């Protein structure tokens, strides 16, 4: 894992920023929580890469508000991922 921002998918409609902040705070310092759209997904920024990786490993598949969270490293459009594509 290279970054310290996590993508959180499969959110329940009732999930709040406060709930995510509290949940992820158990794995380190949370810098920011952003819920995108009508709870479509969220980004959680941790204070370090190690904390983000620990949270991802521990919370991927975690049940929150009757749904299983999908937690992965966030990649943004302006970042290049290291992929092995053939052209």
Residue 2: pLDDT over 90: no
pLDDT value of position 76: 76
Return the higher-pLDDT residue of 83 and 5. 5
Strands (E), 10-76: 30-36, 41-46, 63-64, 67-68, 70-73
Q: pLDDT tens digit string along 51-81?
A: 999 999 999 999 999 999 999 999 877 755 5
Q: pLDDT tens digit string along 10-56?
A: 999 999 999 999 999 999 999 999 999 888 899 999 999 999 999 99
Please name the residue that has the structure tokens 């749904």: 67
Taken in order of first residue, the domains within the chain and their CATH numbers are 5-73 (3.30.70.330)
């Amino acid at each position: 894992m290279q970054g310290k921002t996590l993508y959180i998918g499969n959110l329940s409609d009732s999930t709040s920023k406060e709930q995510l902040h509290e949940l992820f705070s158990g794995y380190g310092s949370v810098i920011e929580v952003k819920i995108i759209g009508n709870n479509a997904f969220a980004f959680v920024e941790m204070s370090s890469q190690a904390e983000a990786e620990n949270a991802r490993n521990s919370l991927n598949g975690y049940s929150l508000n009757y749904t299983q969270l999908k937690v992965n490293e966030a990649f943004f459009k302006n970042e290049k991922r290291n992929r092995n594509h053939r052209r």
